[in-house]
Structure 1
Amino acid sequence: MRRSTRDRLVIAAIALVCAAASVSPAARPIRGLSLDILTALRWEVFGRKQDPAASPAVVVAMDEESLRTAPFKGAPMLTWTGEIGRVLSATLEGGAKVAGFDVVIPNSLEQSEIPLGDGMLGEKVRGFDRDFLRALAGAAAKGKVVLGEVLGDRPILPSPGQRIAVRQNIRPLNDHADSDDIVRRLPLSFTINGAKVPTMAVELASRALGAAPEFDERGRLTLAGYRVPGRVPNTMTLNFEGGADDIPTFSFADLRACAVKNDKEYFRRWFDGKVVIFGTVLDIEDRRMTSKRFATGIEGARSPRCTAESMPVTARSRTSTIAGVYIHATAVNNLIARNGVVEPGPLPRLLIAALIAALAAAAAWLFRPVVAFAAWTGMIVAGVAGATVAFNYALALPIVEPFLASLTALAATIGYRFVIADKDRRLLQKSFALYLAPHVINRMLSSSKLPELGGETRNVTVFFSDIEGFSLIAEKMSPDGLMELMNEYLSAMTDVIESHGGYVDKYIGDSIVAVFGAPADDPDHAANAARAALDCCTQLAELNASSAVFRDCKLAQRIGINSGEALVGNFGSRRRFNYSVMSDAVNLASRLEGANKFYGTTVIASETTVALAGQGFVWRELDAIRVKGRTQALKIYQLLALSAGLAPQQQTVIANYADGLAHWRAREFARAAECFGRSADIDRPASLFAARAQELAQNPPGEDWDPIRTLQEK
């Protein structure tokens, strides 16, 4: 299997495993966190979606204010029944569609067996609950009241008199807590004595809508044509608003005072068409943690008051819990407004997590860790923003699962790169660090074709340079001075070569052997070698002019360039090897460097290099030669300048030389000598050819004369 295929499969496997782990049962305790975060973000970003006054459900709160206000102060709720009946009747007369009780009063004072005087307390207060029971019975006759019960091993039921008064219109108040004990969903029904019974919220919403609830065999609810969504069977995911005043809340003490003074207008203004839920709203009793826990606000906000006979009690700090009555009120609102939260099932959650994890793994594979982390952060921020917008339309896209899956995939992929995938890259970086420029190493590593250990054939350009008269220079200088001179010269030339993508194969005394096109692929290796040759000449001129080391010794160099197939790779023994290049192209580059000595030039290239380098350079054809060790003739060219840097005088010299060379090959030696002679004073190759042409003009060669010069020197 190819390394690239293996890496792709590993990255895909990392993404899938991380995504599967994020949606597995092990991650269930934190799965609901997505709902909590989205509820808070929607509240912070979009604020309140609707005016609380438009809420279908309202709450009548037995609150701290009621406990501190006469006649309830110091009295148990068991004694409140008459006043509860008074307020119930007032709200229904004000136009409320239905009233439900989230508070259960399981006993009656009339049933008390506590001794009092010569009898029992219950006997002494016989008829105490009469007004309350009449209010319940009257409301039940119109189908406008529902009492609550708590199911369990020991059910909590209303007192027998209440059950009779409401004609058994009693519905369960049980809620549904996730494994982290947070309420995010509400059951839709329970099976009691073999019959499916809707919960309090469903019963209240169905009576307000005038439509009976319909349950299918899987427990899914349809109410007035609305199919209630629910990821957990037989539950509805609650769509909580943020803040503390999303459900209009009325203090029971204030409503009781309002009912006593018979302010019917107040009850019509605030309760007409509403679903009224009676419940406790206290600091410590019946408090529940819900998906609204990060967006609860400071409790105490209340609807406009009817009287000034009591003082409202306002919480001073924000709390993460809400009173249980608000859970049922929210459910009623969701059912009537048809905006229960839609949660994707396991497969969509897995696919979303896998997609985000795959993107994170790809970023970790393609970029450096810091850049990959920044890209992952941006992706998560964008994803959360999109999920927040979707949640504004009641669609709860997962954010915790993709976050965990992508973060794990990011870390795992970085670890895989470091431990396994990049091990070969680090080995290559370490191997080439001493003889390759950093940017060349990076390009080699990013190349689709890395060098094969042991050697491979590539089309390359070989660069060979030498210092003119180095032996004489070495004789005149001290060893330390020579070392300093050569170090500065070789360092400067190496920098130029590497800046154009080449690498220095070796130093042979004063000679430099460099290769372009390996180990990294370089389709412009010939052009880059030519540019490097011109820049080396410029750099040496600057050293001769400005360097203190070159003050007493001015250097001149000769450069040969040739392109062709070469074997590149690691050569040597089993214990020691070197990355190098071998082929006839290398030998020919060396011969071309030596040809400069004969022609008096600085840079000579083969016709192969000239053809590959393109149109960006000014070349002059010097001659056709045979070099030592080769029988095949080749044309050689002198590199003069970049196309844009040619001086007019050089153009004239080139034209005269080209005319002379054409006459030379046509055996028109006199005319060739004339053409060469026009530039002989300023051009060494022209001077050389002018002398040769004059000699042959005076002594014409035989018919077998060959216009190809054989160079015997290296």
Structure 2
Amino acid sequence: MSKQLPDLTPIGVVAIAALCTTSLLVGVRSLGALQRWELLVFDWMIRLRPDDPPDPRLLVVGITEDDLSRFGWPLSDRTLAQALNQLQQHDPAAIGLDLYRNLSQPPGYEELVAELNAPNLIGIENDNVDPPPTLPEARIGFNDLVSDPDGPIRRNLMTFEIEGKTRYSFSLRLALHYLQLKGLAPEVSPTGAIVWGKAVFEPLTSTSGGYATIDAKGYQILLNYRAEDRAVETVTLSQVLDRQVPPEWIEDKIIAIGTIAPSIGDVHYTPYSSTSSHPFMAGVVIHAQMLSQLLSAVIDGRPLFWFWSEGVEIAWILAWTVGGAAIAWWCRHPLLLVAVSAGGIGVLVLTTWGIFLAAGWIPFVTPVLGWAIAGSGVVAYRAYQSGRQQQIVMKLLGQSTSPEVADALWSSRDHLLKNGKLPGQKLVATMLFTDLKDFSTISEQMPPEALLEWLNEYLEMLTEVVQEHHGIINKFTGDGIMAAFGVPIARQQPEEIAEDAYNAVSCGLTMSDRLQILNREWQQRGLPVIQMRVGIYTGPIVAGSLGGKERLEYGMIGDSVNIASRLESCEKDRQSSICRVLIARETLTLIREQFVVEHWGPLALKGKHQMVDVYRVLARQQKTGEVPVEPPVDFPQPKR
């Protein structure tokens, strides 16, 4: 026995889809599988947002390709000393030298040492290169840049510890020097955050924002770039040495000196790289961006990037998976589902974008996948459920209903089907029973195989006629059928009930017409010709599933069903036509003036205490201008 998925309530389907999808995505996300996509979205939002104006506190002295051609590389100590001297003449707040000078480059070593001894000069080091030997530790910062697994520089490593010693970054050393002149010193809060002026620097974790598996050692923050090109004003080394830089560009500013020539190789990928005409950003410019972020946060209160806790992020993802699942359940039309889903994703985009403009980085790719996967899961379940429901409907009603009834039934399946069954409902329907006259005699005269083939031709004709008149065949009763008009969808208006009665009576007369044609064909083939009886009654019934889930039957019970059956079988000897159609007054009142009838009077039907007023239907009523229809041809009684 094949196992079936359980029937679930809408809330149950949505809840299971959302919880399973969220659990799956949170697990996949924790492995870093979605980090790359979250970072791409981060880069896209960085590029899309408006650029900030250049930081007026900074100036970059860039060593260009033209400077290399003019002064050579590496720069001599004298050339560098002259440049530092020119800058110091205009009282800069600090000078950051993003050049390695651990070795002398004569001539002019003594001149350079004199300039390096200035208290406002900050030098660099890294793991492989020592700082200038004359600089004290308080004026040395590392210039290492931390890149993400996919390449771009998105983080600012401010400090890290090695062998119990805290090392400071190049940009942090410059910021400390400058801000101490302004009377702003950092403090460490009880939580470990750095409180500095208007800013609170919270360290990154390995799962902050869209990250999942980064190395978050040291004290790192997410780098908030000012702009792609003009984050800081930039002049060339030649301009400095040729005295072409206005003094006000230098006075009380922080000056960063470094190479911007691509041939030197100190260039890096950034969030701007994928669409930029200049895919790389010079290291000295990135350090200036980091320095500007520190100053802007401490002095100006420019927002630092913030992130939700892991629990809030999971709740955020769950909320969107619930939304996707709910939309998929309640939007049944494909176009409506696509439209509403697109609108939902649009809301997610705008929400994420609005939060990003407020310096918040929250998951985007994971909620989108949650929406899509949960919604797809619900759609798949609905397709499975619809398939099961269709099987149930076809099992209950077979293929004995007209296309119109089948369509109406299928469109209303949610109201009809409950726990794999059609719940019982009280409705007014017109029941129709048929039977063959003297079938027992005929069956004795034919071989079983021939009898079955002959009988199937007859039953096929009855099925077609019932379907043409929008009825359903509930069961085959050997040589007859039990059909109903007005089920399984309850009629709400009297006009609809009257139309069902008309269809049933018209169906009976059409059976008479088709049987005449069938008899002529059988007579030519040497097969028996037959007469049939039809009983029709309109009244209340109860219709629904009978049996269990493993064996179901669509049943119709009630006194109206019994009366229709008794009408078919009453007065069996009173039959002079090929097809006798009997109805009761309850049906006649619904079809008045549409059929010609013969009153048989009140009759006592088998099993009924009360008399039933019976009528025989002779023909359809002629409309004005119609050619008279020949009366039904009497059919001779078979010889016995």
TM-score (norm 2): 0.68
Structure 1 position 160, deviation (Å)? 0.4
Q: Which residue of 2 aligns with 1:214?
A: 187
**Distance between the aligned counterparts of 2:46 and 2:613, measured in 1?**
77
Judged with a 3 Å threshold, the aligned counterparts in structure 2 of structure 1 residues 434 and 8 are, in CA distance, closer, same or farther, namely same
* 1:22–1:401 contact (8 Å) kept in structure 2: yes
Question: Percent of pairs identical after alignment?
Answer: 17
Which of 134, 137, 140 aligns to 2:114? It is 134
Alpha-carbon displacement from aligned partner over 1:192-244 (angstroms, at most 9, x marks no partner): 664545433233334444322223355422221311244427321122356x4
CA change 1:585–1:358 in 2 (3 A) is same
CA contact (8 A) 1:505 1:514 kept: no
Q: Which residue in 2 is equivalent to 1:530?
A: 498
Contact 1:190 1:196 in 2 (8 A): yes
Q: Does the CA contact (< 8 Å) of 2:63 and 2:237 recur in 1?
A: no
Alpha-carbon distance in structure 2 between the residues aligned to 1:76 and 1:333: 28
C-alpha distance in 2 between matches for 1:559 and 1:96? 108
Query: In 2, distance between residues paired with 1:6 and 1:467?
Result: 42
Q: Which runs of 5+ in 1 are unaligned?
A: 111-124, 300-318, 472-479, 614-621, 639-646, 648-714
Other-structure match for 1:360: 324
Equivalent in the alignment of 1:279:
258
Match of 1:629 in 2: 607
For these two proteins, the number of residue pairs brought into alignment is 553
Amino acid paired to 2:470 = I
Q: Report the alpha carbon displacement of residue 3 of structure 1 after superposing the two structures with TM.
A: 4.3
Residue correspondence of structure 1 range 431-442 to structure 2 within 5 A: 431-432=395-396, 434-436=399-401, 437=403, 438-442=406-410
In the alignment, the residues of structure 2 paired with residue 375 and residue 93 of structure 1 have an alpha-carbon distance, to the nearest angstrom, of 66
- Aligned partners of 2:615, 2:140: CA distance in 1, in Å? 105
CA distance in 1: counterparts of 2:150 and 2:508, whole angstroms:
76
Structure 2 residue identity aligned to 1:257: S
Q: Which has the larger radius of gyration?
A: 1
Moved more, 525-534 or 376-385: 525-534
1:513/1:334 Cα in 2 relative to 1: closer, same or farther (>3 Å)? same
Relative distance call for 1:283 and 1:632 in structure 2 (3 A) is: farther
Q: Distance in 1 between matches of 2:548 and 2:21?
A: 44
**Would the alpha carbon gap of residues 486 and 195 (structure 1) be closer, same or farther in structure 2, given more than 3 Å must change?**
closer
SS where residue 470 of structure 2 aligns? helix
- Mark the runs of 5 or more structure 2 residues left unpaired by the alignment: 206-215, 439-452, 521-532, 575-579, 591-598, 617-622, 624-640
Contact kept in structure 1, 2:308 and 2:362, CA below 8 Å? yes
Aligned to 1:560: 537
Q: Partner of 1:191: helix, strand, or coil?
A: strand
Following superposition of structure 1 onto structure 2, how do residues 51-130 of structure 1 map, counting pairs within 5 Å? 51=53, 53-54=54-55, 56-67=57-68, 69-72=69-72, 75-77=73-75, 79=76, 81-91=77-87, 93=89, 96-109=92-105, 125=107, 128-130=108-110
Q: In the alignment, which residue of structure 2 is the partner of 1:587?
A: 562
Query: Deviation string for 1:150-171 (max 9, x for gaps)?
Result: 2x4x4x222203x15xx74112
Q: Which residue is equivalent to 2:41?
A: 37
| Distance in structure 1 (CA, Å) of the matches to 2:245 and 2:152 | 40
**What is the CA deviation profile of residues 269-326 of structure 1, one whole-angstrom value per residue up to 9, with x for unaligned ones?**
x44564332233343613333444435x122xxxxxxxxxxxxxxxxxxx2x433333
Paired with 1:630 and 1:542, the residues of 2 have a C-alpha distance of 29
- Kindly indicate whether residue 133 of structure 2 is the aligned counterpart of residue 160 of structure 1: yes
Q: How has the CA–CA distance of structure 1 residues 131 and 426 changed in structure 2, closer, same or farther, with 3 Å as cutoff?
A: farther
Q: Residue 307 of structure 2: SS of its match in structure 1?
A: coil
The 1:331–1:601 alpha-carbon spacing in structure 2 relative to 1, beyond 3 Å, is same
2:199 is aligned, of 195, 220, 226, to 226
Cα pair distance change 1:523/1:331, threshold 3 Å: farther
SS at 1:240 equivalent: coil
Counterpart for residue 170 of structure 2: 200
1:546-695 alignment to 2 at 5 Å?
Answer: 559-565=536-542, 568-569=545-546, 579-590=554-565, 606=586, 627-632=605-610
Equivalence for 2:224 = 239
- Distance, in Å, in 2 between the alignment partners of 1:271 and 1:390 is 37
1:92-124: CA deviation from partner (whole Å, max 9, x where unpaired): 5556543323333222235xxxxxxxxxxxxxx
- The answer as to whether partners of 1:98 and 1:207 remain within 8 angstroms in 2 is yes
Amino acid at match of 1:562: G
SS of 2:311's partner is helix
Task: Compute the TM-score of the two structures, normalised by the length of structure 1.
Answer: 0.62
1:258: which partner in 2?
239
- The equivalent of 1:327 in structure 2 is 286
How far apart, in 2, do the equivalents of 1:483 and 1:581 lie? 24
Judging by fraction of residues, say which structure has more helix.
1
| Residue in 2 that maps onto 1:393 | 358
* Whole-angstrom CA distance in 1 between matches of 2:304 and 2:615: 82
CA contact (8 A) 1:460 1:563 kept: yes
Instruction: Say if 1:129 and 1:370 are closer, same or farther in 2 by CA, change over 3 A.
Output: farther
Kept after mapping to 1: 8 A contact 2:58/2:233: no
Name the counterpart of 2:312: 348
Q: Work out whether 1:27 is the aligned partner of 2:44.
A: no
Q: Deviations over 1:334-356 (max 9, x none)?
A: 23142322222211221111122
Q: Please tell me the residue identity of whatever aligns with 1:135.
A: E
Task: Please report the RMSD computed on the Cα atoms of aligned residues, expressed in angstroms.
Answer: 5.3
Matches within 5 A, 1:368-447: 375-414=340-379, 424-425=388-389, 427-432=391-396, 434-436=399-401, 437=403, 438-443=406-411, 445-447=413-415
Q: How far is 1:586 from its partner?
A: 0.9
